[in-house]
């Protein structure tokens, strides 16, 4: 049940032709068997990317979606719209969405419900700020993020959830959490899940790490026993680097 996953998060980067070029380069790469590869790309390029990756092992994902089914929400995109063009995976709760678009744990719980209702797979992101770590409240903070957004789910709904622990202080900063810090947090995340569900469920969920993952550090991070892969920002914009990360398992 637990899968090895490497997902690229392109964020708001690359225009349509650059997107097409990068996907074409990715298609020439050889990924290690057994690693699930996804790219989360801007809305505008999703439909073309689904067509371009058809017949490959690359899964195209969205970086966000709205919680409502449809309606007067100018500028937003619904789960059904994503589904219709063949996008079945969505990132929810990225720290940039939380920080710049005021997404709260409660709102994210709604988005998760909508995604699951539409049979989408969710990569749910969370992680502490530097102050939380400095004050040694990071374990409690992360536990509360998980509880607030996910503990209303029943066991079977977890089949469509992948978790991504992304300490905010390590995103885009070049500063990576150490493998020991990440392993400690991932074991904690499983322990938190076990308090609400059970150990079987806690051990079955894929938990990714995100925050300055690069070819140079991926191997050591992925070697930790509770780490099932990575959510990769900056380094996912380069086909060779991204492939090296995928092949670090």
Q: Does 172 bind ligand PGA (CB under 6 A)?
A: yes
In whole angstroms, the minimum distance from the beta carbon of 71 to ligand PGA comes to 29
- Cα dihedral 205→117→74→162 (10° resolution): 10
Beta strands in 87-204, from DSSP E residues, in sequence order: 89-92, 121-126, 161-165
Q: Which of 4, 5, 6, 9 touches ligand PGA (CB under 6 A)?
A: 9
Q: Does 127 bind ligand PGA (CB under 6 A)?
A: no
| Other C-beta atoms lying within 10 Å of the C-beta of residue 204 | 17
- Listed residue (54, 62, 83, 64) closest to 8, CA to CA: 62
Interacting span for ligand PGA (CB under 6 A) from 25-33, 50-58, 136-144, 205-213:
205-213
Q: Does 122 bind ligand PGA (CB under 6 A)?
A: no
Q: 173 or 203, CB closer to ligand PGA?
A: 173
Q: Does 182 bind ligand PGA (CB under 6 A)?
A: no
- Distance separating alpha carbons of residues 132 and 181, to the nearest angstrom: 14
DSSP of 93-121? --HHHHHHS---HHHHHHHHHHHHHTT-E
Interacting span for ligand PGA (CB under 6 A) from 15-23, 30-38, 77-85, 225-233:
225-233
Q: Does 229 bind ligand PGA (CB under 6 A)?
A: no
Q: Does 8 bind ligand PGA (CB under 6 A)?
A: no
Structure tokens that stand for 206 in this block: 């894929």
Q: Does 246 bind ligand PGA (CB under 6 A)?
A: no
- Distance separating alpha carbons of residues 78 and 73, to the nearest angstrom: 10
- Distance separating alpha carbons of residues 114 and 78, to the nearest angstrom: 9
Q: Answer yes or no: 94 catalytic.
A: yes
In whole angstroms, the minimum distance from the beta carbon of 215 to ligand PGA comes to 12
Q: Does 123 bind ligand PGA (CB under 6 A)?
A: no
Residues forming a β-bridge with 123: 91, 162
Give me the active site residues, please: 94, 166
By CB under 6 A, name the binding residues for ligand PGA.
9, 166, 171-172, 210-213, 231-235
């Amino acid at each position: 049940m637990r899968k090895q996953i490497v997902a690229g998060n392109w964020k708001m980067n690359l225009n349509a032709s650059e997107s097409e070029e990068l996907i074409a380069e990715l298609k020439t790469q050889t990924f290690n068997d057994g690693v699930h590869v996804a790219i989360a790309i801007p809305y505008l390029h999703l439909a073309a990317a689904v067509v371009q990756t058809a017949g490959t092992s690359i899964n195209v994902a969205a970086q966000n979606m709205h919680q409502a089914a449809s309606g007067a929400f100018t500028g937003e995109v619904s789960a059904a719209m994503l589904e219709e063009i063949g996008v079945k995976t969505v990132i929810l709760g990225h720290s940039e969405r939380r920080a710049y678009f005021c997404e709260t744990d409660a709102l994210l719980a709604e988005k998760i419900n909508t995604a699951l209702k539409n049979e989408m797979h969710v990569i749910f992101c969370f992680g502490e700020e530097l102050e939380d770590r400095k004050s040694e409240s990071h374990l409690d903070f992360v536990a509360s993020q998980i509880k607030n957004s996910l503990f209303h789910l029943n066991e079977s709904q977890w089949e469509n959830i992948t978790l991504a622990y992304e300490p905010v202080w390590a995103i885009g900063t070049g500063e990576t959490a150490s493998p020991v810090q990440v392993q400690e947090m991932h074991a904690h995340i499983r322990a938190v899940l076990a308090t609400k569900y059970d150990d079987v469920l806690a051990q079955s969920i894929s938990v990714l790490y995100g925050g300055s993952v690069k070819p140079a550090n991926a191997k050591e991070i992925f070697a930790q026993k509770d780490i099932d892969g990575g959510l990769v920002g900056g380094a996912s914009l380069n086909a060779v680097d991204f492939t090296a990360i995928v092949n670090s398992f």
